[in-house]
Structure 1
Amino acid sequence: MTSKLTTALFIAGGLLASSALSANAGPLTDRIAAGEPIRIGFSNIPIWGYPDEKGDPKGFVNEIALGILAKMGYTDVETSVTDWGGLIPGLQANRYDLITGGLYILGSRCENINFSEPIIVTGDAFLVSAGNPKNLNNYKDVLAQSDTILAMYAGSNTVEAARKEGLDDAQIMQLPGPAEVLAAMKSGRADAAALTYFEAVDFAAQSDGKFEITDPNALPDWTKNWVGVGFRFEDEDFMKEFNAALAGYVGSEEMLAAVQEYGVTEVNVPQGEATEWVCANR
């Protein structure tokens, strides 16, 4: 699924950005110099990054990324939607120039792609049946009940977290994406779902009281995560320019107004944590 954004280009900003990048190498810089659009890949993840009914990018990570690019003078953007597990491989295969959609900065991912400086900090939560009948508030609760199944989507940070907490494949149900995770919960094939906090809130709100979310603070502190925008290693020079614009945009009134509809507030603004530190500690 592909859509093209054709908003007007701020010529002055574009000239400044082009000048700053003219001496730098990288596939993305070459595309921009050739007049081609910046290609953004994301998955269909509620709240974080998803296509609207016209196929245009929505979600707070897309809003932030597009806002930063606009500050750099770039508004000629092409977007593609893919499965969650296809984001990093697609970036590496040069199908996208950057990937959004809510990628947590994890050490394992930092080995495969570059991340911008953090744009959001948040945690996870469990989606459970109303009343939480099995009292599943964290991974240890699931581990203690061997017949309990915890759903999550393949490639998500919760897969690593569950395994770190001792769960094996017998209790972990990996699915293609959030929609399939929700379907597993509705059908009773899963007893709980490990999701980002924003996803869990969204699903619970739309369940007509069938589901609720657990307290994110019941999960280990190390499950708190920072979100970044993914780039190829070859585009490090462009990413540096992106980070320079990011520094003045993330946490600004303009950014907070753009993401207000998604429930993002000042609480989710990173407090100076650097990607280098996050890669080493997550």
Structure 2
Amino acid sequence: MKKSAIGVLAVMLLVLLAACGNGDSDSSGSKDGSKLDNLKEKGVVKVGFANEKPYAYEEDGELQGAAVAIAKAVFENLGVAEVDGQLSDFGQLIPGLGAGKYDVITAGMAITPDRCSSVSFGEPEIKYGEGLIVETGNPMNLKSYKDIAANPDVKVAVMSGATEKDFMIREGIAEDQIMMVPDIPASFSAVESGRAAVTTGTEMTIKMALESANNEKLEFVTDFEQPDIEGVPSFGAAAFSNDDDELREAYNEELQKLKDNGEIAALIEPFGFTEEMNIVEDDITTESVCNGDNY
């Protein structure tokens, strides 16, 4: 019995020493390094993008878009050679980040107080307003969210997870007027089929999606009245897990360099954005947006 006990203790000691040895060898490797060190060592960062043109989309087998261009520029400057971009439904980005599927998510995602409690946003990269798409001719003369609210028979389609649902409710649109759909094409289909009279989304997203669809049955409302509420205009940014402070701060540092040298404007202009309308003012910060100080 004593010999057996001694043998067991010896085995346990060997296991413990082996574990300590593994820990020592990993301390200089990727396992125990910082998140940024790990990404540099691997040479690749997994980034989740919402499949929304012009922020992120696939064309000729390659990812394109303003959010893609910014992310690639920042991570290249951070020493991470490859962005492994993965397109996703917008509503799956934050859950995917929380589950460890992505290192970062970005898609012109609007910074909002609610989201600020779930993820850690980088500094704002781009600003944008809202837009409407209706049947050609705009037969119901819808030019604002208040117009929709004034007619309870109007149904509006909106993509799941988008901020527009909250905007519309605050403008007086009833919950039962709002139809949630998985993506932009589904929202167009809802209007074209008559299941909804209108769809809404970020201005550039739905405008460019309609141009790509070349659908003569629908039109973009050019004289849409932007809602005068907290959250409009929206400020889009990359988002990180709440415990990834070092990676977020490093990202912010390189992002600021791109802002200072004017490269942000050059990166987003090929995708339809303009310096006058879409560049974030210097005094707008993530902290101020999260706190609601800008509205």
Q: TM-score, normalising length from structure 1?
A: 0.84
Q: Which residue of 1 aligns with 2:107?
A: 101
Q: Which of residues 154, 169, 175 in structure 2 aligns to 1:163?
A: 169
- Alpha-carbon shift at residue 143 of structure 1 (Å): 1.2
**Cα distance between partner residues in 1 of 2:259 and 2:157:** 32
- The question of 1:207 aligning with 2:215 is answered yes
Instruction: Map 1:166-205; keep pairs closer than 5 Å.
Output: 166-205=172-211
Name the residue aligned to 1:224.
Answer: 233
For 2:55 and 2:236, the matched residues in 1 are separated by 10
Distance 1:252 1:221, change over 3 A: farther
What CA distance in whole angstroms lies between the structure 2 residues aligned with 1:191 and 1:214?
A: 17
Question: Is 2:48 aligned against 1:38?
Answer: no
Aligned to 2:65: 59
2:284 matches 1:277: no
* Residue from 159, 162, 185 that aligns with 1:153: 159
What residue identity is the alignment partner of 2:236? V
1:71 Cα deviation from its structure 2 partner: 2.0
- Alpha-carbon distance between aligned partners in 2 of 1:186 and 1:165, rounded to the nearest angstrom: 24
Shift of 1:229: 0.3
1:89 is matched with 95
Amino acid in the other structure paired with 1:240: E
Cα-to-partner distance string for 1:26-74 (whole Å, 9 max, x where unaligned)? 5x336326525210011211111112231x3211111112111122222
State the match for 2:4 in structure 1.
none
TM-score of the superposition, structure 2-length normalised?
0.81
Aligned partners of 1:91, 1:257: CA distance in 2, in Å? 28
Match in the other structure for 2:266: 257
Query: Contact (CA 8 Å) 2:106, 2:238: kept in 1 or not?
Result: yes
Q: 1:184 to 1:251 in 2, by over 3 A?
A: farther
The residue aligned with 1:14 is none
Write the deviation string for residues 72-116 of structure 1: whole angstroms up to 9, x where unpaired: 222222121222111000001110000112210011110100111
Confirm or deny that 1:143 pairs with 2:152.
no
SS in 2 for 1:245: helix
Partner residue of 1:19? none
8 Å contact kept, 1:128–1:214: no
Larger Rg: 2
Cα distance change of structure 1 residues 204 and 220 upon mapping to structure 2, 3 Å threshold: farther
**Identity fraction in percent:** 28
Q: Which is further off, 126-135 or 210-219?
A: 210-219
RMSD in angstroms over aligned alpha carbons?
2.1
Q: Which amino acid is 1:50 matched to?
A: Y
Give distance in 1, aligned partners of 2:41 and 2:208.
Answer: 41
Structure 1 residues 252 and 124, CA gap change in structure 2 (3 angstroms): farther
Q: 1:234 to 1:218 in 2, by over 3 A?
A: closer
